Amino acid sequence: MDKLILIDGNNIIYRAFFAMPPLTNASGQQTNAVYGFTTMLLRLIEEHKPTHMMVAFDAGKETFRHADFQEYKGGRQKTPPELSGQFPLLKELLKGLGVSQFEIGGYEADDIIGTITRQADEAGRKVMVVSGDKDMLQLASEHTTIAMVRKGVTEIEYYGPEQIKERYNLTPDQIIDLKGLMGDASDNIPGVPGVGEKTALKLLHEFGSVEAVVSRTDELKGKMKEKIEEHADSAILSKKLATIFREVPLEQSLDEMAFTGLNEETAGPALAKLEFKSLIERLNLSTSGAAGDAAESKPQAKIDVTLVDATGIAEVADHLAQVTVLHVETHGDNPHHADVIGLALATEERQYFIPFDVLKSEEAEPVRAWLADSEIPKRGYDLHRIDLALHWQDIAFAGAAFDVHLAAYLLDPTESNQTLSGLASKYGLAYLQADEDVFGKGAKYKVPEVEKLSEHMARKCLAVSELVPVQEKELAANGMLPLFHDLEMPLSRILADMEKQGIAVNAEDLKELGREFEGQIEKLVQEIYEIAGTEFNLNSPKQLGEILFVKLELPVIKKTKTGYSTDAEVLEKLAPYHDIVRLILQYRTLAKLQSTYVEGLLKEISSVTGKVHTYYRQTIAATGRLSSQYPNLQNIPIRLEEGRKLRKVFVPSEPGWSILAADYSQIELRVLAHISDDERLKEAFVHDMDIHTKTAMDVFGVGMDEVDSNMRRSAKAVNFGIVYGISDYGLSQNLNITRKEAAAFIDQYFEVFQGVRRYMDVIVKQAKQDGYVKTLLERRRYLPEINASNFNLRSFAERTAMNTPIQGTAADIIKLAMVQMDKALHERQLKSRMLLQVHDELVFEVPEDELEVMKELVPDVMSQALKLSVPLKSEVSYGENWYEAK
């Protein structure tokens, strides 16, 4: 049986363009729309296995519709140049793939498609039309299905006459009547003003057609009657414009649309030209032009998952040795408090789903023993989260060997959709429903009936097993296997250990601190109200702005998108004008401490352990750093004394133990010295000099004794700027000087540190050439905007190119230190525990009798974690709480 797929080329490429991030290839050519189009095309081929396929494009500016209505599609935004440049790429690629394309002068893609569907209807052939344009629904028939593309190009809804009836209670013919009444802003079709979808549907359900509505206005009343009568002509014309013309003089025959699979000779090279490497791998194509493996469209695997009850466990236990992949479904953002829904296991042949209550049953002991066995390698998605969720249900997990979530992060740390479903679609695996679609979101979350649930779980397992070999290949090709297997995978287990351990918080002291803040806050609030002469919500920047800039007429320093800016920088500048400003600044400081740190932290103290258990996320930061949530323990105050006191409530969890903290000294500048190979910078660190003073000496050309505090402060700001990817504007902001002065500073700096200048030049050039930058340990970050024509986008990408190798290598190093530290603690059988990581600092709790050892061991391991051309320095301190360990 023939099966025809007709694609509305213009519509889909537009949608893909706006839905996809602005991906570019190495030469700076943007390819995102072509990529989005192609992934959708491949998915359609896999899922529907068409015998015929065709992509239709609009041709020519004027179509016959303009004869009726000059303004047709008027007022529409000009096609962005970034998109129009992709049309030729798409057309060339389609040629390479062996997919036919039609365009006929004076007609739009819909007309071509409409004509073919009419012919197919007459011949009784099955057709599927792919578009995101609702107009296409008018073509639906017994033989013609409309595949409506939604949410960019990631989802497809199928409409036949029945579905249209269900959704609109209309026949396909009536879709044009709907548009006749509603109009369409994007095509500049007027319709009847004031009539939207709701009204239009009501009218059509009553009258049946536009013609009937306008001829029977006597049956209407009031405003509605007036509007319809006044715009009757417009409605009729709009309907005509919306009607797809189905009599295009086509010369092509059905044979020209025949599709027997991707052209093996040319598909690979065509994709390679666009640098769609993941697609080539996924299709198993050769890029040399010689035929590779046949690009068979992969049938969606049939699923016959076994739902396991207590009596079925025995069978599962018999097959545990063959299990290749597991999935544990959890619910909740915070894995320390997540519900466990169930466990799915997959062998080469079959899948099992074990609901949570069954997993907890006595019979399931063999399965739990299997989960806990660190010698059994396990593969899955986000095993770190799974480990934590199971832990709090008293189920042990060990043996994580390949986590596809982590692998996906390394392959592209900026990918925003890192869900398994997203990965399945990105890598072109069998379609996997999004969790949101299966479970619902937020308050609507609901575990579906068990058949549906177990099938989804099994499909997740299948997605993981398909993903593993593909990712492994890509990691290998990028030289990232060691980073993955020797650093990130082991680290993920170590993080889980730290998180389960948690850090003890003295709740009583914290509450007492809260009472002190409370008293000061109340006093400040009263004073502020008195000076302002009115009470208002101090936490509302909008209301505060009114008071400061309208009532008190203070000068406006800076504006935000929505009004006056009242941030600390502005308030500092306003302080000399009015006494109230200092008080507001003090209030802000205390209110922050109170709400975020006192109240926020108290809420996070576990009723089970009396500790806080943060959750380190390993797949968030684009540079390779960790991030910390629930609570964030990487931003506990330290810079101001008032806030720093909070650190006193972080204490050892055992009597007599100490908190020991060690931090890297100037790790980022040391990394820069190494990467840039700058002689002066290296020399400074070899001699372990105060780097900011040394910078001041060199930049200002003075001796050590002549460096005053101001010079040192400036030099410090320049050093920060260098690490961030310097700009004169940024430095001028930071130092409160003019841009010119800042530019002069930077020039002077680069005069002295020429190696650093060379590094900045080279790294940006490299990024422009390769499209990515990398760290010492081969961690990558793609910079799609590095060749953008937009100054801001491009400049941002350039600064990122300078910063990421520095920040990222520093992240690599402390991660290495953590893995080595964990090993050292185990080997020496120490009782000390690693608790926290704060980017360049590690925090431990240490028993009395290990203090002497740890004081040496920790800085030793940290400073030896990676050998650079300059020494790494780690400084250690300890005390009875985190405050004392300074």
Partner DNA sequence: GCACTCACG
Partner DNA sequence: ACGTACGTGAGTGCG
Restricting to residues 566-585, which ones interact with DNA according to CB under 7 A? 566-569, 571
Q: What is the closest distance, in whole angstroms, from the C-beta atom of residue 805 to DNA in the complex?
A: 12
Minimal distance, residue 836 CB to DNA, in Å: 11
Q: Looking only at residues 446 through 505 of this chain, which bind DNA when binding is defined by CB under 7 A?
A: none
Give me the long-range contacts of 735-744 (CB less than 8 A, separation at least 24).
none
How far is the CA of 468 from the CAs of 282, 296, 378, 464, in angstroms? Answer: 12, 20, 12, 6
Residues paired with 158 in a beta bridge = 147
Q: How far apart are CA 240 and CA 190, in angstroms?
A: 12
Q: Which stretch binds DNA (CB under 7 A): 135-143, 152-160, 620-628, 871-879?
A: 620-628
Closer to DNA by CB, 803 or 809: give it: 803
Q: Does 640 bind DNA (CB under 7 A)?
A: yes
Q: Which is nearer to DNA, 461 or 760 (CB)?
A: 760
Residue 885 Cβ, how far from DNA at the closest point, in Å? 12
> Do residues 646 and 637 make contact, with C-beta atoms less than 8 angstroms apart?
yes
* Residue 721: CB minimum distance to DNA, A: 2
Site for DNA in 597-616 (CB under 7 A): 599-600, 603
Q: Closest separation between CB of residue 808 and DNA, Å? A: 9
Cα–Cα distance measured from residue 759 to residue 266, given in angstroms and rounded to the nearest whole number:
40
Binding part of the chain for DNA, among 54-62, 632-640, 769-777, 822-830 by CB under 7 A, reads: 632-640
Q: How far is the CB of 575 from DNA (least distance, A)?
A: 13
Closest separation in Å from C-beta 858 to DNA: 16
Distance CA 258, CA 882 (A): 71
Residue 244 or residue 718: which is nearer to DNA going by CB? 718
- Name the minimum Å distance from CB 483 to DNA: 18
Q: Helix crossing, 222-230 with 232-242: angle to 10°?
A: 60
Region of 547-555, 677-685, 834-842, 845-853 interacting with DNA (CB under 7 A): 834-842
Q: How crowded is residue 877: how many other Cβ atoms within 10 Å of its Cβ?
A: 13
Q: Select the residue interacting with DNA from 351, 589, 787, 881 (CB under 7 A).
A: 589
How far is the C-alpha of 206 from the C-alpha of 199, rounded, in Å? 11
Least Å distance, CB 564 to DNA, is 7
Task: Give the Cβ contact number of residue 765 at 10 Å.
Answer: 12
CB of 67: closest distance to DNA in angstroms? Answer: 42
Nearer CB in complex with DNA: 404/548: 548
Residues in 41-100 that interact with DNA by CB under 7 A: none
**Whole-number minimum distance, CB 157 to DNA, in Å?**
21
Q: What is the DSSP letter of 547?
A: I
Q: Which stretch binds DNA (CB under 7 A): 223-231, 695-703, 721-729, 748-756?
A: 721-729
Using the minimum distance from each CB to DNA, give the nearer residue, 313 or 626: 626
Site for DNA in 731-760 (CB under 7 A): 731, 733-734, 739
**Sole binder of DNA in the list 252, 322, 595, 869 (CB under 7 A):** 595
Interface region with DNA, contact rule CB under 7 A, candidates 378-386, 521-529, 717-725, 868-876: 717-725
H helices of 133-231, in order, are: 161-168, 174-182, 197-207, 210-215, 222-230
User: CA-CA distance, 872 to 272, in Å (whole number)?
Assistant: 42
789 Cβ neighbours under 8 A, 6+ residues apart: none
Quote the CA–CA distance of 395 and 841 in Å, as a whole number.
31
Q: Which residues contact 289 (CB under 8 A, 6 or more apart)?
A: 265, 266, 268, 269
Stretch that binds DNA, among 159-167, 380-388, 524-532, 640-648 (CB under 7 A): 640-648
Residue 483 is given by DSSP the state I
**What span, in angstroms and rounded, lies between the C-alpha atoms of 31 and 700?**
47
Pair of tokens at residue 117? 């569907």
Q: Which of 100, 632, 653, 864 binds DNA (CB under 7 A)?
A: 632
Contact between 791 and DNA (CB under 7 A)? yes
Instruction: Find the shortest distance in angstroms from Cβ 109 to DNA.
Output: 32
Compose the 141-180 pattern: x for residues touching DNA by CB under 7 A, - for all others: ----------------------------------------
Binding-site member from 727, 787, 832, 881 for DNA (CB under 7 A):
727
Task: Please give the Cα distance from 776 to 674 (Å, whole number).
Answer: 10
Helices (H), 69-143: 81-84, 86-97, 109-123
| Residue 56 to residue 43: CA distance in whole angstroms | 18
* 24, 131, 278, 623: residue in contact with DNA (rule CB under 7 A): 623
Beta carbons within 10 angstroms of residue 247's beta carbon: 9
Task: Identify which range of 31-39, 447-455, 590-598, 761-769 contacts DNA by CB under 7 A.
Answer: 590-598
CB of 794 to DNA, least distance (A): 9
Nearer to DNA, 152 or 208 (CB): 152
Within residues 354-413, the interface with DNA by CB under 7 A covers none
Please state the closest distance from residue 543 (CB atom) to DNA, in A.
Answer: 5
Pick one of 639, 687, 826, 867: the residue that binds DNA (CB under 7 A): 639
Binding status of residue 637 toward DNA by CB under 7 A = yes
Among 180, 190, 725, 784, binds DNA (CB under 7 A): 725
Comparing C-alpha atoms, which of 524, 562, 523, 556 is closest to residue 542? Answer: 562
Number of residues that bind DNA (CB under 7 A): 75
Provide the mask over 542-571, with x wherever binding to DNA is found by CB under 7 A and - wherever it is not: xx----------------xxxx-xxxxx-x
Q: How far is the CB of 405 from DNA (least distance, A)?
A: 15
Q: Which of 168, 163, 116 is nearest to 142 (CA)?
A: 163
Nearer residue to DNA within complex by CB, 451 or 751: 751
Binder of DNA out of 278, 839, 854, 858 (CB under 7 A): 839
As a whole number of angstroms, the distance between CA 695 and CA 711 comes to 9
In sequence order, the β-bridge partners of residue 879 are 659
Beta bridge partners of 774: 780
x/- mask, DNA, residues 642-661, rule CB under 7 A, reads -xx-----------------
**Residues 312, 358: Cα–Cα separation, whole Å:** 10
Dihedral class, residue 531 (left if φ above 0, else alpha if ψ from -120 to 50, else beta)? alpha
- Written as one letter, the residue type at 28 is G
Judging by DSSP bridges, how do beta strands 378-380 and 615-617 pair with one another?
A: unpaired
- Of the candidate spans 10-18, 208-216, 476-484, 588-596, the one that interacts with DNA by CB under 7 A turns out to be 588-596
Does residue 807 belong to the site contacting DNA (CB under 7 A)? yes
Amino acid at 173: D
- Choosing from 410, 453, 707, 726, the residue that interacts with DNA (CB under 7 A) is 726
Residue 556 region by backbone torsions, left for phi larger than 0, else alpha for psi between -120 and 50, else beta: beta
C-alpha–C-alpha distance, residues 747 and 728, integer Å: 10
Tokens of 30: 């943007």
H or E stretch covering 477 = helix 450-477
Cα dihedral 826, 832, 838, 841, rounded to 10, equals -90
